[in-house]
Amino acid sequence: MTPKERLMATLNGEKTDRIPIFTSIPFAVGKDGFRPGPFHGYDDYDNWRECDPEYWKLVKRLEEECDNFFIWRPKCMISDQFFIPPSMVEELPSQERDGRIETVYQMKYENIMLTQKKGVKPGTGHTWQLEHYCKTADDARALLEIPWQGEPVEANDFQDIVKYLGDRGVVWVTIPSPLLVVCRLFDPMEFLILTATERDLIDRLMETAYERIYNNLVKLLELRVGPIIRFGGAEHATPPLMSPYDFDWLVVNYDKPLMDLCKKYGHKVAVHCHGNIRHALKRFVEMGVDQTDPVEAVPDGELTLAEAREIANGQITLTGNIQMKELYNSDESHIEERVREIISQAGPTRLVVSSTGTPLEKISPRLARNYNCMIDSVLKYGKL
């Protein structure tokens, strides 16, 4: 089977030749094949990935032997622009501070001025949100009064990516949940407080984000993007940050209609959701989700992989769950045993073995060995 055939058959619950292996290492595609690069729609400060020989070796192995999801994120699905019109934003000159580059962005409309600050460490993928646009509830109320015009809905590079990716994988069309768009307007702690003290405001923001995402999603689907629409943001409403009640309020109520829309167009639905997911996974089954990652199990989550498989009830493809700390700090024997454990507890069907994150610095010799061991172990033990 080709990687594309293997991944789609796995999501359909059909028989495959082996369990897929997806490393979560970002890469770019072009007429010359795979090359190191950030996830599509995200930017690095510099070309540190392309300057790393070990990164090149791993990316070429992905191209030749692995089963690859390619993250595609169009500008019309970048979270900021759903409330902050790009035409009203000015990027101020960057400053270097404590080894990182910090940049302030100003949004001006009539007598309203809001700012955010971001930071990046050159030579790495480390980024920081140092300051958010909304410092108070009144800042958010002001945003609701601003005439909005986001990025145009375009898929100009989508077909090229599909062509260059070929049979070596499938595209994850990445979109934000309304929750992601709203919560990232605020400092995370401030947002949690407002969900308790300003519920009417949060509802207004959520409904606005939902409507704008829905309209853009319809246009994207009409442009025939797919085959998997992957949502991000549900993790912001998992314990201990929020209760199951809050998850239903902020995720189920607003994501379910968007997922139904994707299904109407014949697409699979995936959800990226870190954290404690016992309640979330039950709701994902009810919402018709086809895939979820990274399925963090104990001790990093609250349930075992066997429990996750039982809750998924043969409907959801579990994708995970070797932690990045294991890849950075363990030896190859540990990684091999973890692969066997994942296959035993969560497989053999509706399973994609993957890591829970991505490398944000140059690949160390140990990290390279462990990535290769993860791939080797799935190829060895994942035969069906």
pLDDT of residue 293: 98
C-alpha to C-alpha distance for 245 and 276, rounded to whole angstroms: 14
Q: pLDDT tens for residues 244-300?
A: 999 999 999 999 999 999 999 999 999 999 999 999 999 999 999 999 999 999 999
Average pLDDT over residues 339-355: 98
One-letter amino acid for residue 32 of the chain = D
Residues 6+ apart with CB under 8 A from 204: 144
**What tokens were used for 288?**
């018709």
State the pLDDT at residue 87. Answer: 96
What fold, for 3-83+135-381?
TIM Barrel (3.20.20)
pLDDT digits (tens, 9 = 90+) for 138-157: 999 999 999 999 999 999 99
The separation between the first and the last C-alpha atoms of the chain, rounded to the nearest angstrom, is 12
Average pLDDT, the chain: 98
Question: pLDDT digits over 167-192, tens only?
Answer: 999 999 999 999 999 999 999 999 99
Confidence class for position 101, pLDDT limits 50, 70, 90: very high
Task: Give domain limits for the chain.
Answer: 3-83+135-381, 85-132
Q: Which two tokens stand for residue 123?
A: 């030579």
pLDDT digit string, tens, across residues 68-93:
999 999 999 999 999 999 999 999 99
52 — pLDDT class (breaks 50, 70, 90) = very high
Residue environment code for 142-173, b if the CB has 16+ CB neighbours within 10 A, otherwise e = bbeebeeebbebebeebeebbebbeebbbbbb
Instruction: Output the pLDDT for position 62.
Output: 98
130: tokens are 């140092």
DSSP H or E run through 306: helix 305-312
Pairing of strands 291-293, 27-30: unpaired
Are 19 and 356 within 8 A, CB to CB?
A: no
Closest by Cα among 34, 38, 112 to 66: 34
> Parallel, antiparallel, or unpaired: how do β-strands 95-97 and 112-120 relate?
unpaired
Say which DSSP state 367 is in: H
Give the whole-angstrom CA distance, residue 320 versus residue 294.
5
Burial category of 197 from C-beta neighbours within 10 Å (exposed 0-12, middle 13-18, buried 19 and up)? exposed
* Burial degree of 313 (CB within 10 A; 0-12, 13-18, 19+): exposed
